[in-house]
Structure 1
Amino acid sequence: MNRSVNVLALVKDGERYVFLYDHESASELLQTLGRYAADPELSFSWYDAAVLSQKVRRLQRQAADEPTPTFRESA
């Protein structure tokens, strides 16, 4: 089984936020974005969380709309 990994990245004020996630962990990533936004020690804002959340949801919709590839065995 081939699982794809998505990369979501943000560079802000000299900090780099890089998130790796697959389809099954997208909801956990959304929660993580909220925790980062709530952390006053980070430059990660609620706006950043909202923008990145929209990207995650857009990718989820696109993945759901794509037809599942079918493979044929050759004789």
Structure 2
Amino acid sequence: MKNLDLELLRTFVAVADARSFAGAGVRIGRTQAAVSQQMQRLEALVGVPLFRREAATRYSPLARCNCSVMRANC
């Protein structure tokens, strides 16, 4: 796996906390579109979807397992 950008992990944690890309954007000072692009980059790097995009953004099973690890490293 390529080196992960710390900003991608911080954005991931913000999405996990806010449970929406728009809410995460408000928290970290980015647009919803920028947050979405960052999560697409992170998903491409890890090779799996990290969120289920529904009315509310939800963790995928893999993301749920790894969120605490990512949070500890951000």
TM-score scaled by length of structure 2 = 0.37
Q: Which has the higher strand share?
A: 1
Q: Which has the higher helix share?
A: 2
Bigger Cα Rg: 1
